[in-house]
Structure 1
Amino acid sequence: MSVKTHIDRRAFVGGSLLAMLSDGFARAQGFAGLGGESEGFAAVVPGRALEFPRDHGPHPDYRIEWWYLTANLNDASGAQWGAQWTLFRQAMAPGAQQDGWANQQIWMGHAAITSATTHRYAEKFARGGVGQAGAEAVPFHAWIDSWEMRGLDAFSAQNVAPIAVSASGADFSYALNLTADRPLVLQGDGGYSRKSERGQASYYFSQPYFSASGTIVLGDKQVAVTGRAWMDREWSSQPLASDQTGWDWVSLHLDSGEKVMLFRLRQKDGGHYFAGNWIDGSGHSVPLATTAITMTPTGSTDIDGRKLPTSWSVAISERGLKIDSVPLNAKSWMGTRFAYWEGPISFKGSHTGIGYLEMTGY
């Protein structure tokens, strides 16, 4: 195959994927079509027991899922960094999985590196069925082109560790090794994460106890980093209600050793649906009452014609938590096909620590 033929074919594939995404996602409801109809896909129901290693792999009967990692890192000088790695699978139609180019799965990857002065990101698309992207439970491996998240020797299905994660863009790359000494935790009620009072939900688990080490490369500069990381796994067929426009999500590493996951789903009528879990130092996860959670924007940043709430006041009345967060880099805009804000934060108040903030639908 000539170089020109290879480039032309990849351009054709990329253009075809974007056309399909525009037809499927853009005309559906909610952010990235996640509030669209789910007829023909498997339903998320309470009481389903999650199983490992099975649920580290793909769930093609459901419309969408993702493997999502964020890392709060420091270099030898103490400077802060952030790294993101995400693989999305989207089914364009329900039914038995077809072979080769007839496969109905679309894969999308996002990667980013953030510091106080720079935010760099990359995006990839792939069609299922041809080996360019995918996920496997045993041995654990999720990939799109050369980006990958894979289990290492002595991989524990309960800990989702150790794993190696790598990605690269036009002007950056990173490679991290992650270990964890505690098992993964189930979000929501035993892994059933409610997204509205009208039945929308996902299956959701996390590994919030990763220790990370590795390297970041920016141009010709290589930086050794260490820190903490958080992995989310989530799948659903309709994670948003049709009138929900997006979400504000935070993962918090408290200096006390506890972890917190919170999200606010925004509705067109101005109402919000709150949910979250409090995870103690041993990994025990407890759902938080919706009425106990307050997330209030306290500062905004203008980005790409949008005003984004990049500073927040967060309170959980039943846990005595009241904190104020600020971003490492307020310009952490992911200008991808479905653009959103994603970046590391720090916070202080009743508790101190670091974490990540994601905001969609603005």
Structure 2
Amino acid sequence: MSADKLSRRAFAGGIAALALARRAHAQGYAGLGEAADGFAKVTPGKVFAFPADHGPHPAFRIEWWYLTANLVDSNGAACGLQWTLFRQAAKPGPQGEGWANQQIWMAHAAVTRADTHRFNELFSRGGIGQAGVEAKPLAAWIDDWEMKGSERTDDRSLSPVTLKASGTDFNYALTLEADRPVVLQGDGGYSRKSERGQASYYYSQPFYRARGTLSVDDKPVDVSGEAWMDREWSSQPLDTDQTGWDWLSLHLSSGDKLMLYRLRQKDGKDYPFGNWIGADGRTQMIAGGDIQMTPKATVDVAGRKLPVEWQIAIPSRSFSIACKPLNPRAWMGTGFSYWEGPISFTGTHAGVGYLELTGY
């Protein structure tokens, strides 16, 4: 890669991060509560179309392809990994050519074990071929990081796909397969984020089985386990008084899946939501009033006090679990910093999952 290309990419990414950080301070986590005049709006009743909706939606301001995996290595040790590609439009309107393109791409990758947490971050400007997403066959990439399908990839299940990313002291390569279709979150894929109309389009593939290799400090091991991919796009998913979220994706030992989050508000009236996903892929929304998310223990990381242990209860389902992190110090010290790491849980149900904490 030429020095000119690298410096331009770093400059574009740095300017984007600084601009977004300014907005983030006043508009909730990562500026996601900023008014989105001129961008497409999220409304109920969308009919999802695959493979098209696996690809980008540039008329909307923000979008991500987000994968987490709970794995076990060949020595029986638990570990986790994250792969995320974010797209943000700097302004609405027709897409510019080359460096004039208004799409900014950012990617995060991480590996977490009980004894270490490693992460890396990349930036690119759209329009120059260095990052992007194609729907069929799926190709989501930035530099040499990629989530990639093939002619064999089924549009409904988005399977099989391969995944790879690296940092100076880690790398991984996985194959992901699922035998059930993707799952629409919320009301048919319309996911409300507040009582005042904020929402996103949101679907997941929570049934991936993962296998491959993971290396930390040039020591590769074989890994296998379960993975969860979230696809979400919007133009203003948060209201201005929402400061961040606490989000969980849970793989139950029964084969069921559970997605839960609470959006924190400045007035203390948090907005919770859940979706129970049966092992057969059928879903049932869980009303916010039936969700109890109680922080039980905190850890001091990067000058912040973070609630990394939780008690979760859903009385209507006789569901009560205690969640603990694999590594309490799984801090993502990226441009927009947050906590993200694998967890395990016990109680009325057992299993593994991922916890994300933003806006602290």
The TM tier, using the shorter chain, reads: over 0.9
Q: Tell me by how many angstroms 1:151 deviates.
A: 0.6
- Which stretch of the first structure deviates more once superposed, 21-30 or 107-116? 21-30
Q: Corresponding residue for 1:148?
A: 146
Q: Could you tell me which of 320, 323, 326 is aligned with 1:325?
A: 323
Write the letter of the residue equivalent to 2:17: L
Give the Cα separation in 2 of the matches to 1:211 and 1:24.
35
Aligned-pair RMSD on alpha carbons? 1.0
Match of 2:352 in 1: 354
Q: In 2, Cα distance between the equivalents of 1:62 and 1:27? A: 17
Residue 186 of structure 2 is aligned to residue 188 of structure 1: yes
Distance in 2 between residues matched to 1:224 and 1:109, nearest whole Å: 24
Q: What residue identity is the alignment partner of 1:14? A: A
Gaps of 5+ in 2: none
1:95 and 2:103 aligned = no
1:17 matched residue in structure 2: 13
Q: Spell out, residue by residue over 1:240-287, the C-alpha distance to the aligned partner (whole angstroms, 9 max, x if none).
A: 110000000000000011000000100111120001100001000111
Q: Which runs of 5+ in 1 are unaligned?
A: none
Following superposition of structure 1 onto structure 2, how do residues 1-362 of structure 1 map, counting pairs within 5 Å?
6-28=2-24, 29-362=27-360
- TM score, norm. by length of structure 1: 0.97
Give the conservation status (yes or no) of the 8 Å contact 1:152–1:164: no
Amino acid in structure 2 at the alignment position of 1:48: K
Partners of 1:188 and 1:160 in 2: CA distance: 20
Structure 1 runs, 4 residues or longer, greater than 4 Å off: none
Q: Could you tell me how far 1:8 is from its partner in structure 2?
A: 4.9
Deviation (angstroms), 1:37: 0.7
Any idea what the Cα deviations from partners look like across 1:110-155, whole Å, max 9, x if unmatched?
0000000000000000000000000011111100000000113410
Percent identity of the aligned residues?
60
Letter of the 1:333 partner, please give it. Answer: W
Q: 1: CA distance between counterparts of 2:9 and 2:145?
A: 18
Is this contact kept in 2: 1:24–1:92, CA < 8 A? no
1:26-62 Cα deviation digits (max 9, x unpaired): 2241101000011000000001111110100000000
Kindly provide the CA deviation profile for residues 213-249 of structure 1, in whole angstroms up to 9, marking residues without a partner as x: 0000112211000000000000000011100000000
Supply the AA of the counterpart residue of 1:17: G
Residue identity opposite 1:281 in structure 2: A
Partners of 1:153 and 1:162 within 8 A in 2 = no
How many equivalent residue pairs? 358
Deviations 1:76-117 (A, max 9, x none): 221001010000000000001111111000000000000000
TM-score normalised by L of structure 2: 0.98
The 8 Å contact of residues 135 and 142 in structure 1, kept in 2 or not, is answered as: yes
SS of the residue corresponding to residue 154 of structure 1 reads coil
CA contact (8 A) 2:183 2:204 kept: yes
SS at match of 2:119: strand
- Is contact 1:89-1:105 (8 Å) kept? yes
Q: Give the drift of 1:9.
A: 4.1
